[in-house]
């Protein structure tokens, strides 16, 4: 199954469970407090996911390593390489 397929299945499952409980006809409704919590649940989850995404990307951005050492090392490498290659006869 493709990832899209997995998402659709998951959403269909959760969606129908939510609809069955939250939008049930009067005779089959769960108790009022549960219904009150259930109805806005999808929105809450969406907002929670949004917050999680922002926090995660923000954290990863803040901890993104700057490779100062590698850059400095590269400059040294380039000097050494140029000198050695000239010795070996390469016209640079």
* Contact present, 39 and 31 (Cβ < 8 Å): no
Measured between alpha carbons, how far is 70 from 78 in angstroms, rounded to an integer?
12
CB nearer to other proteins: pick between 7 and 44 = 7
Q: Verify binding: residue 33, other proteins, rule CB under 8 A.
A: no
74 binds other proteins (CB under 8 A): yes
**Spatial separation of the C-alpha atoms in residues 58 and 48, rounded to whole Å:** 15
Positions in the binding site for other proteins (CB under 8 A): 2-4, 53, 56-57, 60-61, 64-71, 73-74, 77-78, 81-82, 84-85, 88-92
């Amino acid at each position: 199954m493709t990832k899209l397929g997995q998402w659709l299945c998951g959403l269909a499952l959760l969606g129908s469970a939510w609809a069955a409980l939250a939008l049930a006809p009067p005779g089959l409704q769960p108790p009022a407090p549960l219904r009150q919590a259930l109805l806005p649940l999808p929105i809450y989850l969406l907002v929670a996911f949004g917050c999680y995404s922002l926090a995660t990307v923000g954290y990863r951005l803040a901890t993104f390593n700057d490779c100062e050492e590698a850059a400095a090392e590269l400059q040294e490498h380039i000097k050494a390489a140029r000198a050695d290659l000239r010795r070996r006869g390469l016209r640079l």
